[in-house]
Amino acid sequence: MQRAALDWKNLGFTYRKTDYNIRYTWKDGDWDNGVITDDEYIPMHMAATCLHYGQEAFEGLKVYEQKNGDVVVFRDVENARRMIRSCEKIYMPIVPEAMFQDAINRVVDANRRYVPPFGTGATLYVRPLLIGTGARIGVRPADEYMFIVMVTPVGPYFKAGFKPVSLVIEEEFDRAAPNGVGDVKVGGNYAAGLRASFKAKANGFTEALYLDAREKKYLDESGPANFFGITQDGQYVTPASHSVLPSITNMSLLQIADDMGLRPQQRPIEVNEIFNFVDAGCCGTAAVITPVKSITWRDKEAVYCSDDMPGEYCARLYNRLVNIQLGIEEDIHGWIRRLPLTD
Ligand SMILES: *Cc1c(COP(=O)(O)O)cnc(C)c1O
């Protein structure tokens, strides 16, 4: 295997073309066996339901080269299960877990030369996508679907290491309705979140932090990342809410927090609790943990750390999780799946 000639240590978090992607078609009630293609484009009917009516769900996960040279994926069965929940909620056929994992095996094998070397901080980002491709003009589920898995090598989300961010509590806009689709990874949620994100940036903050849409009283999450805080007595708390996307990173941090004695708790978190936290972070696959420097609510600001130094809890949680992903610390929870590659 001749690795691609890339400047691995300086990859940004952007799309970069690789050799192949894999595509499966659902037709007449069943999936085909999938084909590997080098085409970056999708030929599609202009009346496809994904274009008009938002029948679209996606996932995001990472493949790592570990210290011992193994190429592994982190908790992909959880992504497969989450995609099943997304499909069910917007009336798309599900991708069975075995097919989801097989797609990852095949597409990573085909793009083996793009798996970043251990120690560079880079990873292979894997993006599964399921779209309604059948033509409809009335609002109805499509009769044809495509499941694609594409990969792209990415650098760490923050190139210069941890970069604490400033959040602002968003009161004007909601990301998702209480009994809507905020808890599944469907494309429409992200278009809906763009204006709150732009507003936050225009006002000098990094990102918006949403409140629950029903009462505007509890914390939800921040754009594409879950939120957690550390209480004064050292407890890891993260919002319980019907409109938060269940993050697999957060699910893992809840376990790690428990392993570290931080007595994790998922519960409704009132907005004024932000003033009692000693540390806070956002979490998701892309950045793993983004330390939160400050949260602004109305005219008050809660501050957790400085511009260039994460809080102690964020740093500890981050190191433990990344070390498990890279095979530096033991995977005691069985989160790592070694990929069967041909070379
Ligand atoms: C994907 C996503 C996350 C993070 O989930 P992970 O499984 O940890 O990557 C958090 N919030 C939203 C809204 C997301 O779409």
Structural domain contains residue 342: no
| pLDDT tens per residue across span 161-211 | 788 999 999 999 999 999 999 999 999 999 999 999 999 999 999 999 999
The predicted structure's pLDDT at residue 161: 74
**Which residue among the candidates 89, 163, 185, 217 is catalytic per the annotation?**
185
The helix/strand/coil state of 324 is helix
| 186 and 321 co-located in one domain | yes
Instruction: Residue 135: give its domain's CATH number.
Output: 3.30.470.10
Q: Tell me, what CATH number does 180's domain have?
A: 3.20.10.10
Q: Specify the pLDDT at position 308.
A: 87
Question: Does the residue 40 lie in any domain?
Answer: yes
Q: What is the pTM (predicted TM-score) of this model?
A: 0.97
Predicted confidence (pLDDT) at residue 158 exceeds the cutoff of 90? no
192 and 250 belong to one structural domain? yes
Q: Whose CA is nearest to atom 4 of ligand 1?
A: 284
Q: Residue 7, class by beta-carbon neighbours within 10 Å (0-12 exposed, 13-18 middle, 19+ buried)?
A: exposed
**Average pLDDT over the chain, rounded to an integer:** 96
Cβ–Cβ < 8 Å for 148, 56 = no
Cα(275)–Cα(98) distance, integer angstroms: 45
220 pLDDT band (50/70/90 cuts)? very high
Amino acid type, 72: V
| CA 179 to the chain's CA centroid | 21
Please spell the DSSP secondary structure of 270-301, one letter per residue.
Answer: BGGGGGG-SEEEEEETTTEEEEEEEEEETTEE
Compute the half-sphere exposure of residue 235: CA atoms within 13 Å on the CB side of its CA: 12
Contact 42, 62 (CB under 8 A): no
From the CA of 173, how far away is ligand 1's center (Å)? 19
**Structural domain contains residue 309:** yes
Is 340 inside a domain boundary? no
Q: Are 320 and 177 in a shared domain?
A: yes
Nearest to 61 by CA among 343, 341, 340, 339: 339
Centroid of ligand 1 to alpha carbon of 5 (angstroms): 31
Which atom of ligand 1 lies at the shortest distance from residue 286's CA?
A: 9
Query: Taking the CA of residue 77 as centre, how many other CA atoms within 13 Å lie in the half-sphere pointing to its CB?
Result: 7
pLDDT in tens, 39-53: 999 999 999 999 999
Pocket (CB within 6 angstroms of ligand 1): 60, 185, 221, 224-226, 245, 247-250, 284-285
Write out the residue range of the structural domain in which residue 19 sits.
8-154
Catalytic residue check, 185: yes
pLDDT in tens, 127-157: 999 999 999 999 999 999 999 999 999 998 8
Q: Is 107 helix (H, G, I), strand (E, B) or coil?
A: helix
- The predicted pLDDT at position 264 comes to 98
pLDDT reading at 223 higher than 90: no
* Distance from residue 285's CA to the centre of ligand 1 (Å): 7
Report the helix count and the strand count for the chain, using DSSP H and E.
6, 17
Antiparallel, parallel or unpaired: β 300-303 and 56-58: unpaired
Closest listed residue to residue 78, CA positions, set 289, 251, 195, 270? 251
Residue 2 lies in a domain: no
- Same domain? For 224 and 123 the reply is no
pLDDT class for 104, splitting at 50, 70, 90?
A: very high
Domain match, 24 and 169 both: no
Give the ligand 1 atom nearest the CA of 61. 9
- Among 63, 174, 185, the mutation site with the greatest number of ligand 1 atoms within 8 A of its Cβ is 185
Same-domain pairing of 251 and 276: yes
Q: How far is residue 144's CA from residue 131's CA, in Å, rounded to a whole number?
A: 9
With a cut of 80, say whether residue 159 has pLDDT above it. Answer: no
pLDDT score recorded for residue 162: 84
Residues 65 and 146 in one domain: yes
What's the domain count of the chain?
Answer: 2
Helix axes 248-259 and 312-325, enclosed angle (nearest 10): 110
Residue 343 confidence (pLDDT) above 80: no
Residues 303-316 have a mean pLDDT of: 94
> Is the same domain home to 18 and 145?
yes
pLDDT of residue 173: 95
* Atom of ligand 1 lying closest to residue 78 CA: 7
Q: How far apart are CA 343 and CA 255, in angstroms?
A: 34
Beta carbons within 10 angstroms of residue 67's beta carbon = 12
d(CA 196, CA 169): 10
